[in-house]
């Protein structure tokens, strides 16, 4: 049984391009648009994972993510936020979302956005991360 606390200085962890996890589908015109900072990964012990994720959408475009939660996924918006298809912001810094295990979900981001994601078990099954045009 683990009894020691884990302390991490997040500003000292490098952002890892998400293409190293999801492949070239998360590149736009050869440029990285999604980054991750792994905070903890205790999946081998059945304990889940925590990470920071940063979306950097290309100017005038949106990043759409479609996924299914493979465990309860807690998302806390730190900077930026999610938006509707027309670009109107719907989630703001300080907002929280719970995607329960088995829940299909999606998000749209049209401004640089950073979120803390904590999964109680396996991380999401990501179906798609693509760049799309806003629908006005």
Instruction: Sketch the domain layout of the chain as residue ranges.
Output: 15-132
Which of these, 52, 16, 50, lies nearest to 32 by C-alpha position?
16
Query: Residue 94 and residue 117: Cα distance in Å, rounded?
Result: 13
pTM: 0.92
Residue 95's pLDDT is 98
Q: What is the mean pLDDT of each run of 10 residues along the chain (136 residues)?
A: 81 93 87 95 84 96 96 98 96 98 97 97 92 90
* CATH code reported for the domain at 15-132: 2.60.120.10
């Amino acid at each position: 049984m683990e009894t020691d606390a884990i302390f991490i200085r997040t500003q000292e962890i490098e952002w890892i391009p998400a293409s190293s996890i999801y492949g070239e589908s998360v590149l736009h015109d050869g440029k990285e648009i999604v980054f991750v900072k792994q905070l903890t990964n205790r999946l081998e012990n059945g304990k889940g994972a925590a990470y920071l994720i940063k979306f950097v959408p290309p100017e005038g475009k949106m990043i759409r993510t479609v996924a299914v939660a493979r465990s309860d996924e807690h998302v806390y918006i730190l900077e930026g936020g999610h938006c509707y298809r027309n670009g109107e912001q719907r989630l703001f810094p300080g907002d929280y979302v719970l995607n329960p295990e088995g829940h299909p979900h999606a998000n749209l981001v049209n401004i640089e956005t950073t979120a803390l994601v904590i999964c109680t078990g396996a991380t999401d099954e990501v179906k798609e991360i693509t760049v799309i045009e806003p629908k006005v």
